[in-house]
Chains A and B, each alone.
Chain A
């Protein structure tokens, strides 16, 4: 009833695969087109970060239900270099790769709940939830 679907990220094309799955699942559970775009964009950001900074990882999706709400939870996990200073990567414009530095702070705004855990040398785990309005 509550399956978890994952996409492994190790080549660039996997980013597209991940966001297509994310959008598909968002649509399935009843998100409107705008929120589908928000979710797909957030997936794209997290998947690309894995590809760029950690090389290997996984993005997973599952539906979550509470008494009054339902939504989608995405989890992006990698075993890459980890992030030393989380508060700085959460700032708009912070980038170590010449990007826009909009990814992580953007995902936080695109989604409703956002949680990041990271340990240097071990990897990074990001969880984000979007609830159906």
Chain B
């Protein structure tokens, strides 16, 4: 299974619609970095509205992908984390401290636009 990555101008948009297993998560990490490299994207929005579970493994993959993209010059925003998911992450002690967030995809784009200044 592969998570589709859409390109919009300088941005990449990902909406995760399926239950993520470990392989899919790792594959996604590789795909996204390759796509950033290929397109020269400066911003990425990963929308998690439909994701109803994030355990420590997926959280690590997501946190890592944000840091890796940063290294490649693309800013990542996570959007749409559900209340139940946020609460379980807090219980796990995972705060994704350095990961920017926004309420939904649209606001994620606005946030990137503001931060990247155009």
Which positions in A face B, CB cutoff 8 Å? Answer: 12-13, 15-16, 19-20, 23, 33-34, 36-38, 40-41, 44-45, 48, 92, 99-100, 102-103, 105-106, 109-110
Please indicate which of the listed interface residues A40, A99, A102 has the most CB atoms of chain B within 10 Å of its own CB.
A102
B53 touches A41 (CB 8 A): yes
Q: A-B pairs with CB below 8 Å: how many?
A: 74
A103 touches B56 (CB 8 A): yes
How big is the B interface, by class? 20 to 34
Tell me whether B14 is interfacial, beta carbon within 8 Å.
no
19 intermolecular pairs with C-beta atoms under 8 Å apart: A12-B21, A12-B22, A19-B55, A23-B53, A34-B83, A34-B87, A37-B52, A37-B82, A37-B88, A40-B52, A41-B92, A44-B55, A45-B56, A99-B56, A100-B94, A103-B55, A106-B56, A109-B91, A109-B93
| Proximity string of chain B (13-38) to chain A, C-beta cutoff 8 Å, 1 when within and 0 when not | 00000010111000000000000000
Given known contacts A13-B21, A99-B60, A110-B88, A37 and B94 CB-to-CB distance under 8 angstroms: no
Within 8 A of A (CB), among B30-81: 52-57, 59-60
Given known contacts A100-B59, A105-B93, A37 and B22 CB-to-CB distance under 8 angstroms: no
* Minimum CB–CB distance for B87 against chain A, Å: 6
Tell me whether B85 is interfacial, beta carbon within 8 Å.
yes
A16 touches B55 (CB 8 A): no
CB-defined contacts of A33 to chain B, threshold 8 Å = 84
* Minimum CB–CB distance for B19 against chain A, Å: 6
Least CB separation from A20: chain B residue: B19
B56 touches A102 (CB 8 A): yes
* Minimum CB–CB distance for A92 against chain B, Å: 5
CB-defined contacts of B57 to chain A, threshold 8 Å = 44, 48, 99
CB-defined contacts of A34 to chain B, threshold 8 Å = 83-84, 87
